[in-house]
Structures are given as structure tokens and as C-alpha cells.
Amino acid sequence: MSKLKKLKQIANKFDDEQGEPIQKEKVLNAFSGVIGKFSKKEIIVDPELRSFIPPLSEEERLLLENSIREEGLREDLILWKDERGHVLVDGHNRYSIIQKIQAEGNEIDYGITILDEGKYPNFESVKDWMIINQLGRRNLTDAQRSYLRGLRYEREKGNHGGNRKSSSKIWDLPENNHSKKEKTHEKLAKEYSVSKNTILGDADFAKGLEKIGMVNPTLKKEILAGETKVNKSALQKVGKYEGMAQMKIEKPEDIKSFLTKVKPKRNKTFVPKKDEVFKLTKARAIKVLEKMDFDDKKSIENLQSIVD
């Protein structure tokens, strides 16, 4: 139950006890005004945190919007306070719909919950909370679940928790020793009931999507929303690619073109056949012998006859 609904209950109780409907209306207006003022002025949408939220399909968004218009918000928006103000960490899709409805001149009742600063002391710990919280959603697609598991693995394989610098990207985190990496993907595989290789594949998938998101955020959203189909193995290959200088992704077909362009060339080292090896060895032996300072040239002829 949202905080505003609780306040309404208090107002209704006040009305029942006092028998003064006009007072109840004043109480509700005051409560709504305070929360509305807070939400409009202080809720900050951080772009990096927003990128962790799997986008809704058009159908899902329409259903959510209709629900909010008819019933308001069933769950509080979750915020985290830092030096900038109150940052939104859960409820991004709902909040964007609220803003749309409010822009039409209508008000939507909703509550807020503030994350405990003691448990989540910095920006990195909030990111971890967001990813794990999103993984708890039941309506995730396979691609969204894979992406979030990959993000979590990449963040946990280095330093666990909130000790990382906020500026680090998931592909910039330091590699840890082999035993640490195994421990992380084994732990996550057990937690999510998948194989260890699935977690490692999720990591490449997440890195690929993040890299595409750096050059084409819209395409990344479309892929995660299921509106644009891209082969998962292709995205994993992008994730394994070191560097981004050559990336210019405007449409899905560009991903395949990019991978073809940066595909490692096969080793074309010449490997001679068995009889060719013998001929090469014989020729080299003769050249070496010819360079030797023999007084008797007959010795060279004898050696050559033996090789032949």
C-alpha cells in the first residue's frame, strides 16, 4: 500500500470520528500537494541506472498505462538519496507514465520508499541492488534475464559490493584470478539454476549489448524489448571484441557486417607435405655443405650422393 493511500485512510478515519467532510478534503489536498511537490521537484532519473531497466514492449506499456490511469500505482516508487537529491532506483516505467499523465493536467496518487542509506551507502551498491531486484521480476524475457545475469556476473567477478568506482564500465572491471572467476559463475549458476557456461555466455551477451548501447542506445532498447531480433551469438561475439573504435551500428544488419570486418584472419602459415619437407631439408643440407671449406671437393660430391 502506498503512503498516500495510508494517508487517505487516516483522513477517512478523521472524517468518521469528527463528522466534518470539509476537514477530510483539506487533509487530502494537503497530503497530495506535499507528495506531488516532492515528486515533481526532487525525483532524479539517472541515465545509467535507467539503462539497467529492461524496456517494456508497446503492448506492455499500454497495459501498464491503462492500469495506472484506472487504479493509480499499486507499489511505491523506490528512491535513493545522494548529494543530487532523491534518485529513482525502481519504478522507471511507471514514473515515465505518471509524467505523461500529469502533463495532461491529471494527478496520479503514488507513494515513495527511500532505500536505507546504511545498507546502500554509495552509487555502486545501488546498482547492485537494482540488478538483483530486476532479476526477481517474473515477467522477464529470456534475453532480459540473460542480460541482467551477465551484468551481475561482470560486476561481481571483480570486487563484490559497493567498493567499485562509479565511473567503471562493465568491460573495464579488472580481471580476477581463475579461481575467483569460477567461484562467481558457479555461485550464480547455482542461484539461477542454469549451467556455468550459461552464466559466462550471459556475460558476453551483456557486454555486447552494452557496447551496442554506447553507439546506438535505441537499438539496444529494441533488442531487449523484443522488437528487434538479433542472433544472441552475434551479440556475444561483439562482447568478446576488444575495443569499440570501428563500431558504427545503425541497424541490426550492421552487427553482422561489423563482425565480418573484425573477424580474426586464419593462420595461413605454410605447412608442406611430407615429401616436400624432405626436399626442403635436402636442399638446405646441400647449401650448408657447399659453404663449408673442404679441401677436397670430392667429399661434397660423396655427401650429396648419400642424400640423393
**Single-letter amino acid, residue 2:** S
* Per-domain boundaries in the chain: 1-45+52-122+129-137, 140-164+172-233, 274-307
3-class DSSP assignment, residue 153: helix
- Sign of the alpha-carbon dihedral angle for 100, 106, 111, 116: positive
Tell me yes or no: is domain 1-45+52-122+129-137 CATH 3.90.1530: yes
The fraction of the chain above a pLDDT of 70, given in percent, is 62
Strands (E), the chain: 43-44, 77-82, 85-90, 112-114
Kindly give the confidence (pLDDT) of every residue in the chain, 308 residues in length, as a single tens digit, with 9 standing for 90 and above: 444 455 455 545 544 555 555 455 544 444 444 444 444 558 999 999 998 898 888 899 999 999 999 999 989 999 999 888 999 999 999 999 999 999 999 988 889 999 998 899 999 999 999 999 999 998 899 999 999 999 999 999 875 444 444 434 444 444 444 444 458 999 999 999 999 999 999 999 999 999 999 889 999 999 999 999 999 999 999 998 876 666 788 888 888 888 887 765 444 555 555 555 555 566 666 666 566 655 556 666 665 665 55
Predicted TM-score (pTM) above 0.75: no
DSSP 138: T
Structure confidence by residue, pLDDT tens digits, 4-17: 455 455 545 544 55
**Three-state SS string across 185-216, please?**
HHHHHHHHCCCHHHHHHHHHHHHHHHHHHHHC
